[in-house]
Structure 1
Amino acid sequence: MEMKLPSLRPRLTFWQLWNMSFGFFGIQFGFALQNANTSRIFSTLGAQPDDLPLFWLAAPVTGLLVQPIIGYLSDNTWHPYWGRRRPFFFIGAILASIALFLMPNSSALWMAVAVLWMMDAAINISMEPFRAFVGDKLDPTQQTAGFAMQTFFIGCGAVIASLLPTMFSDVFGVSNVPVGGMVPDTVRYSFYIGGLVFFLSVMWTVFTAKEFPPDDMEKFNAARKQSRHLGVALRDIIGGFGQMPKTMVQLAFVQFFTWIALFAMWIYTGTAIADNVYGTTDAQSPAYQSAGNWVGIMFGVYNGVSALAAFLLPVVARATSRKAVHTACLIIGGVSLASIFMITTKELLIIPMIGVGIAWASILTMPYAILAGALPANRMGYFMGLFNFFVVIPQIVSGLLLGWMTTHVFGGHTVQTLILGGASMILAGVLTLFVTDKAVAAK
């Protein structure tokens, strides 16, 4: 069955783009809290550095399982009021907000790991349809702008979320020290705000953005009825691997090495800065917790840069090409990430985060803009979900190998693992040169 959305979609105004993307502000608020604080929470509850990648496997594994299924289900969903993607925004927001309230109240390591599984699954339920949302609603000439608007809100949400623990500590005088082995109040209050912001932001998009109905409702309903059979659904979900467009296969290699770098950065920046700059590996010490706050500032910087770069990159891409922009950004980001090894003054750590932020803006925009032009409209959600395999598989590989490499190759110095991440991102930039961008080819 081929169900096509309108071939000529109306151009949306700035505020319509704003409304349909605003939910990403809350989604990234939650992700940023997770990325900047999960290793800190695990370490505070007793985790060892070489075990952190294994505990972080919750994130990629839930994405691997959830995103293709949610994409398939949303492709085959339609409600006169709720539409196709928005029911999943709504459900995911409720579950993610609950998980954000639970995470900092974990009293044992196993509880924190379990809540991470719940939180990541819930965030993925909301997040995956947002990528397909752009392909559904926007004409190809506006798709890069649509993904850029999402990147802007991702950056804004992440900046505020990353800075929250420091703001609570330095501005409001909230305790930043673990008491009785529990998570500091600065982190706990940050997650409470994150749960509220996540819910309200996604609800804004749910109730202000509308969706196009299927062109042929009779055909759509017939296909939807067939898709409810488990055998058909499994065949369609698994069979999609053999139907991936050439561009998607090429981007898969780019994503693989990109996300090895990002996973290494998210897991190990906290311990690397504590060891390399603050001179401690004791997770219960005030210095270690101060390092955790400074990492929040670093992550806030790279996300802030990405929010600003989100509007610049489409302009540069129109003047050059999306491939050229992505290649340059990834190389800049890789060099910047690796350079952390040479920095022992905390203030100077802001400089490489600028380069990482430029790369992050492109990572969240260019691959999806390139991919959207190569996908069939009636399977946009499924293929966007399947594309996430090439985000989570490298994270799973990293989770299984980085701990061993950090211990046995790098002598436990996690800052050296960041060098490996930087090299991986540079390689991803080179591989981008071999990607076919159909929008360019059609000119």
Structure 2
Amino acid sequence: MQKRKLSFWEIWNMSFGFLGIQFGFALQNANTSRIFETLGASVENIPILWIAAPVTGLVIQPIIGYFSDKTWTKLGRRKPFFLIGAILSSICLFLMPNSPTLWIAAGTLWIMDASINISMEPFRAFVGDNLDEEQRTQGFAMQSFFIGLGAVLGSLLPYLFANVFGISNTAPEGIIPDSVKWSFYVGGVVFISAVLWTVFNSKEYSPEELAAIEARDKEKQPERIEVVDKSKNIAKQLRVGFIMFLVGAIISYIIYVNELTKELYILFIGLIIVGLLFISVALLRKRNFRNGYTIIVTDMLNMPQAMKQLAWVQFFSWFALFSMWIYTTQAVTGHIFNTTDTTSKLYNDAADWVPVMFTVYNGVAAAVAFLLPLIAKKTSNKITHMLALFVGGISLISIYFLTSKIQLLFAMIGVGVAWASILSIPYAMLSNSLPASKMGYYMGVFNFFVVLPQIVAATILGFIVKELFNNEPVYALIVGGFVMILSGLLTLRVKTKQKLIIDEN
């Protein structure tokens, strides 16, 4: 039993749902800071208002991955999660621009991001389920294409509604402009429609077929399997848990004693919680207790080595992206256009240009999505990803020196190249290093290294911008640029041909 080769249009159909997912995600990324600022948020507090969303994703992704690995329904294995997430996300897209207060907007963002994660995580595993090693790069490239296309359409909507259809892009203080509201309404419809297309026009392998395929893969690559010593693994889990707990507790105490910014508690209290999870599971495993909880926590410890190496690449890449998503609006309005008056036409014209900038980088990502795998064949995945991240990092840094709208668009071209690579090549490098039976779970855990940098960025960037950069958000983009270059360098140390760790917990 082996996976059959899928046609271009079959891969198209199974990836089409990402068009809707990214359509909604783009609206969120490009407009949430604007909504928060309109509802009264200060510049230094905007990052912390984003924090609930990635924290939710951090919890949800591995759980959704674990249960999607175990789920079999008449609808399929991953499809039920696509659909549930799409329904919830679409409802939130209708509610978000009508938030009457800042905290309701922040709460809606929390729910919306969690719902997007419910849909998004199984889509990554869907490629691993349905495609063999030779076609996975093409599958992730197709996802990147739809991500770019969906983001172009989503990012461009407020600008089109304001400048082509004549819908007002200004409103009284504390009210979201109609151009933004109608963009979110359209986003809700597109999200659910695109996911339904994938649900009804793609197939999944049956449990029996996947079991046969996995058995065949194990026969092909038996040398890559490593069964760990359970007692040593438990001891390691206990040791790592205590270290996490102590580090988190000590730094939290330092924050308390020195009255440092309270946002720092989020990161280190989180470390304490993870440490306690590791300790509790290690103690349960000593008593031979085994359930979904112990499996989920233990498999975090036993990540494939290639995944651990890619984690650092993802961490710094997404830290850079998150700094851009948070602060581009403020950098463009304040640094380029020299205005902070949210009720003025100049501010709103400048803010409307940010979705256009995001449209450009997403459009470039869609355009080069199928080019990067070709370059990788001539060089390697590592070299291709490194070069793309270098281009993106230099482009982010260049924004500080630019003076016009058109120049900003040229900077976004470089960001688009990096974005296309971030969305495809790390997943292509990772997928062949994962056990087939845990594809969904480990794809969910891999999201940690998308979410954790967002938490770190939201925790420290507000403090850094306020205390070190005199409330000049453009410097956050410079930091992001250098961090993206660092992530490119770290790509060179990734080795994908390594043993898989198998542990029955």
Which bin holds the TM-score, normalised by the shorter protein?
A: over 0.9
Residues 339-389 of structure 1: per-residue CA shift (max 9 Å, x gap): 101112111101110000000000000000000000000100000000011
Counterpart position of 1:105: 98
How many pairs align? 422
Report the Cα distance in structure 2 between the residues aligned to 1:310 and 1:231, rounded to whole angstroms: 42
Matches within 5 A, 1:334-413: 334-413=393-472
C-alpha displacement at 1:217, in angstroms? 9.2
Alignment check: 8 A CA contact 2:27 2:154 kept = yes
- 2:24 paired residue among 14, 21, 30: 30
TM value normalised by structure 1? 0.93
| Matched residue type, 1:48 | S
Which residue number corresponds to residue 57 of structure 1? 51
The answer to whether the 8 A contact 1:181-1:284 is kept is no
Match of 2:222 in 1: none
Is the CA contact (8 Å cut-off) linking 1:370 and 1:438 kept in structure 2?
no
- What does residue 268 of structure 1 align with? 327
Q: Which amino acid aligns with 1:209?
A: S
Retained in 2: the 8 A contact 1:333–1:422?
Answer: yes
Aligned pairs for 1:22-421 within 5 A: 22-79=16-73, 81-215=74-208, 232-421=291-480
Structure 1, residues 378-430: CA drift from partner, whole Å, max 9, x if none? 10000000001111111101111000000110111100110000000000000
For 1:433, the equivalent position in structure 2 comes to: 492
Between stretches 68-77 and 176-185, larger displacement belongs to 176-185
- What is the SS of the residue equivalent to 2:21? helix
Structure 1 CA distance, aligned partners of 2:198 and 2:359?
24
- CA distance in structure 2 between the partners assigned to 1:266 and 1:207 by the alignment: 33
* Alpha-carbon distance between aligned partners in 2 of 1:356 and 1:180, rounded to the nearest angstrom: 33
Task: Provide the rounded CA distance (Å) in 1 between the counterparts of 2:483 and 2:439.
Answer: 29
Residue deviations 1:237-265 (CA, integer Å, cap 9, x gap): 10111210010000011111111100000
Name the aligned partner's letter for residue 43 of structure 1.
E
Asked whether the equivalents of residues 323 and 437 of structure 1 are also in contact (C-alpha less than 8 Å), the reply is no
- Amino acid of the structure 1 residue aligned with 2:442: F
CA distance in 2 between partners of 1:378 and 1:115 (Å): 34
Shift of residue 58 of structure 1?
Answer: 2.2
SS in structure 1 of the partner of residue 71 of structure 2: coil
Is the CA contact (8 Å cut-off) linking 2:69 and 2:77 kept in structure 1? yes
Alpha-carbon distance in structure 2 between the residues aligned to 1:216 and 1:174 = 53
2:173–2:343 contact (8 Å) kept in structure 1: no
Unaligned runs of 5+ in 2: 213-288, 499-505
Which of structure 1's runs of 4+ aligned residues deviate more than 3 A?
216-219
> C-alpha distance in 1, partners of 2:388/2:211?
46
> How far off its partner does 1:290 sit?
1.3
Q: What is the one-letter code of the residue matched to 1:68?
A: P
Match of 1:19 in 2: 13
CA shift for structure 1 position 437? 2.8
Equivalent-residue separation in structure 1 for 2:55 and 2:343 (angstroms): 29
**Structure whose CA Rg is larger:** 2
- Matches of 2:122 and 2:429, distance apart in 1: 17
After the TM superposition, which of the residue ranges 103-112 and 57-66 deviates more from structure 2? 57-66
- Which residue number corresponds to residue 227 of structure 1? none
Taking the aligned partners of 2:163 and 2:209, their CA distance within structure 1 comes to 58
**One-letter amino acid of the structure 1 residue matched with residue 421 of structure 2:** S
On the 8 A contact 2:10/2:202 being kept in 1, the answer is: yes
The whole-number CA distance in structure 2 between the counterparts of 1:216 and 1:306 is 35
Identity between Structure 1 and Structure 2 (%): 58
Task: Please tell me the root mean square deviation across aligned C-alpha atoms, in Å.
Answer: 1.4
SS at match of 1:47: coil
Scaled by the length of structure 2, what TM-score is found? 0.82
The amino acid that maps onto 1:14 is: F
| Amino acid in the other structure paired with 2:181 | R
Residue deviations 1:24-78 (CA, integer Å, cap 9, x gap): 0000000000000000000000000100110011221111011001000100001
**Letter of the 2:327 counterpart:** Y
- Whether the 8 Å CA contact 1:44–1:178 is kept in 2: the answer is no
Q: Which amino acid aligns with 1:393?
A: L
